[in-house]
Copies of this chain bind each other. A is one copy, B any other.
Amino acid sequence: MNTVAQAVSIHAKFGASETSFRCGQEIHGQGEPANYIYEVQRGAVRSYKALSGGRRQICAFHLHNDIFGWETGLSYRFTAEAIVDTTVLVVRRHTLEYVAATDVKVTRNLLSLTAKSLEHAESHMLLLGRKNSLEKIVAFLLEMDRRLSCPSVLALPMTRRDMADYLGLTVETVSRDLSQLRASGLLRFLENSQRQIVLQDREKLQGLT
């Protein structure tokens, strides 16, 4: 069962509208009424929870075809922001729930979607709780590599700060570990761009996490 493809069809069926956000713009805020569900068409989005003292935990990055903003409760548990210029499909939650009430397939798609998120969250708990900084960085690179379909050049849409807030580290540690991986020849940056990375040895990287 392909969750994403089925979810896309839901959107098409119910007249989803398209909206664009500039880099850095908020799509929905933590605590606001959860009235819309989104799907990334172009660009990328971060979903995070905030803590006192400016601390953030990014719980997920949403890339092409990912769905986000779906809640069982009344309000969003995350703030979602575009991390590059981004276009999303939007459907009213009300519409989706109306359909789910009559079409079991939609409910099952929502279940599948939620289960996928849960699976990701549980793996990420292991990473946050028990991996060291290098293992975290490597796991992150391989996750992005996989989700972007293993391109020859990994074009990361997020800043080092976003990476740090996803991995429970600081910007400096992220930077240092990337430098270390570069020094040991496991990856390299494209010239004039620190966010375009070539993974030189996926197998060895896999062994580090």
Contact = CB atoms under 8 A, between A and B. Distances in A.
Interface string A99-125: 000001001101110110111011111
Interface stretch (A5-13, A54-62, A144-152): A54-62
Contacts of A115: 72, 114
Interface in A66-110: 72-73, 77-78, 104, 107-108, 110
Nearest to A73: B119
B128 A129 contact: yes
Contact of A57 (B72, B108, B112, B126): B126
A116 to B, nearest CB: 8
B107 A49 contact: no
A51 interface: yes
A104 B128 CA distance: 36
Nearest to A101: B104
Contacts of A56: 130
A54 to B, nearest CB: 10
Contacts of A121: 118, 121-122, 125
A196 to B, nearest CB: 26
A29 interface: no
A10 to B, nearest CB: 15
Contacts of A188: none
A115 B111 CA distance: 8
7 contacts: A49-B125, A51-B130, A57-B129, A72-B111, A107-B111, A111-B114, A130-B168
Q: Which 3 A-B pairs have the closest CB atoms?
A: A129-B168, A121-B121, A128-B128
